[in-house]
Amino acid sequence: MSLQDAPQPSGTGRLLNIFKDRSVEDHGVGWSSLWDSGESDLWDRGKASPALVDIIEQESDLINPLNQNGSRKKAIVPGCGRGYDVVMLALHGFDAYGLEISETAVKEAEAYALAQIKSPSAYHFRSGEHRQGSRGSATFLKGDFFSSDWAFTEDIGGSTKFDLAYDYTFLCALHPERRKDWANSMARIVKPGGLLICLEFPLYKDPSLPGPPWGLKGVHWDLLSQGGDGVVWGNVGEDGKEEATEHCEKGAFRRILYAKPALSHEAGKGTDMLSVNQRK
């Protein structure tokens, strides 16, 4: 698929107009206003990430919801939207948390979770059928990801560290100036040995074009490994493996899996990459 043929997310033009004259510091207010005005359909995918469902069920040895003592691992989805991925993780045994800057988003996610935990939709499972097993909890928090205030609430059980973090469209919704902050914040909240899973999107978009969504060339190189902005590739091959392997020890995360997902949302199908990065 060529860059020109890649499907564009619905509502892209509207988003560009909303954010083109806003200061980076004011972007959070912009997203909150879109939730308040009922315009979340501009980016809403309507279901959990098929690529995340796949890897959770296929890589159960790598991504296990239980600790050795039987306690549940904690997962977090910053910028969780209506909470599709949070609920899916809870249905697969994690105590899952969703973080949103908008009070309206939190309320909509809580309503969605209440219904889905009782009667899950087929898209939460790879086979389309409900997998039997113990469920975890789904909790939603209001807060700014780049502030530590939200992490000191009783709702997360007194621990500010998570075993798993998932990012799909949160990173691409952030102005590139905030990408270093994103990487630093992920390193802060993921515990040593924990996993940062990224469905990397939109890889088809020229990073020089305005957003959101803002294009990027990858997440590990050079964003996680070098503290860059995810735009510069340098002398790395298209698969990103040679140079990323050489430099991975310089960052807080070590990439342990990198593959094109068999399934993904239509907006990035055929161009998305799935990466699993382990906190050192």
- According to the model, what pLDDT value does residue 101 have? 94
Has residue 110 got a pLDDT over 60? yes
**Phi-psi map region of 148: left, alpha, beta (phi>0 left; psi -120 to 50 alpha):** alpha
Which residues make beta-bridge pairs with 254?
A: 278
Least confident of 95-99, 103-107, 133-137, 226-230: 226-230
- According to the model, what pLDDT value does residue 153 have? 59
Residue 268 confidence class, pLDDT cut points 50, 70, 90: confident
- According to the model, what pLDDT value does residue 124 have? 94
- Residue 198 CA to residue 51 CA, distance in Å, equals 10
- How does DSSP classify residue 231? -
pLDDT tens, position by position, 49-71: 999 999 999 998 999 999 999 99
Q: Which one, of 267, 218, 215, lies nearest residue 244 by Cα? A: 218
Please name the CATH architecture into which domain 12-279 falls: 3-Layer(aba) Sandwich (3.40)
- According to the model, what pLDDT value does residue 251 have? 76
- According to the model, what pLDDT value does residue 240 have? 41
Is residue 213 within 8 A of residue 252, CB to CB? The reply is: no
3-state helix, strand, coil in the chain (%, to 5): 35, 20, 45
Mean pLDDT of the chain: 84
Identity of residue 219: V
Q: CB under 8 Å to 11, separation ≥6 — which residues?
A: 39, 41, 42, 43
pLDDT tens, position by position, 250-264: 578 999 999 999 988
Q: How many CA atoms lie within 13 A of 45 on its CB side?
A: 20
Q: What is the mean pLDDT of residues 94-108?
A: 96
Has residue 243 got a pLDDT over 70? no
Percent of the chain scoring above 90 in pLDDT: 59
- Residue 9 CA to residue 44 CA, distance in Å, equals 10
Residue of higher predicted confidence among 130 and 188:
188
pLDDT tens, position by position, 156-197: 655 578 999 999 999 999 999 999 999 999 999 999 999 999
- According to the model, what pLDDT value does residue 157 have? 55
